[in-house]
Amino acid sequence: MAWNDTPLAPQQRNITQAPIRQNLATIKTAWDTNHYALGDGVANDGKHKIIQLPEQGADPGTAVNEGTVYTKEGATSSVTELFFQRENGGSAIPMTEAGKAAIGWTYLPSGLLVKWGSNSFTGAQDLVVNWGPDFTTAVFNWALVSTKNTFARSVARFVSCTATGAFPTTATLRIEGKNESTGADYNTACTFIIMGY
């Protein structure tokens, strides 16, 4: 429904009743969208049924002591995602964006970026964690679990983790596959997780 700019100063009450009633109907129609209907009952007055957030073209910006929840296209997923922007034009956290796969990544609500995967190899090797979004500030922690070959007594060992180049960057895990008994290079496998932001 169209909104009527009424009553205006020179208008008489007897000619503004219809547009005023139309304005009230427009307000009710808008209110009833995603809300419990006006007059539904005291228990539900003012409550939402659902919240629909049209996708924004850019981060909306925030003032001091203010946070904003909105949707925007994910930089990696290329679909509409839920974001939270911190106060004073702070960082925008993609709360629902993720690469959900065996080799994947996700954001935590705090803004931390977590990546995981698996690999098989022989001897020393650099495993470049270059899928999904880059780490833009720091790589904090990592963990590697050996998929041990009991018969050959092979084990995957963690050597080091480095950030390659200036941020934004990928992370590189230095790993090696060894025979536990002889120390010789041996084909083995591992799963790993790495965290940063």
Phi-psi region of 54 (alpha: psi -120 to 50; beta: other; left: phi over 0): beta
> Is the preceding omega at residue 109 within 30 degrees of 0, hence cis?
no
> Is the preceding omega at residue 168 within 30 degrees of 0, hence cis?
yes
Q: Name which of 125-129, 152-156, 167-171 the model is least confident about.
A: 152-156
Q: Report the percentage of the chain scoring pLDDT > 70.
A: 86
Q: Are 55 and 71 in contact (CB under 8 A)?
A: yes
The contacts of residue 188 (CB under 8 Å, 6+ apart) are 120, 121, 122, 146, 147, 148, 149, 154, 155, 156, 177, 178
pLDDT at position 149 over 80: no
Give the C-alpha separation, 49 to 34, whole Å: 5
Which pLDDT does position 168 carry in this prediction? 55
| Digit-coded pLDDT (tens) for 24-78 | 888 888 888 898 887 776 788 888 889 999 999 999 999 999 999 999 999 989 9
pLDDT at position 194 over 90: no
pLDDT at position 87 over 90: yes
Average pLDDT, the chain: 82
Residue where the block lists tokens 């009710």: 28
Which pLDDT does position 86 carry in this prediction? 95
State the virtual CA torsion across 129, 131, 137, 138 in degrees, nearest 10.
-30
Nearest to 172 by CA among 129, 143, 123: 129
Q: Are 135 and 113 in contact (CB under 8 A)?
A: yes
Number of C-beta neighbours around residue 35 at 10 A: 17
Fold classified for 113-196: Immunoglobulin-like (2.60.40)
The structural domains of the chain, with segments of one domain joined by +, span 1-51, 55-96, 113-196
Amino acid identity for residue 42 in this structure: V
Bridging pattern class, strands 104-107 and 92-94: unpaired
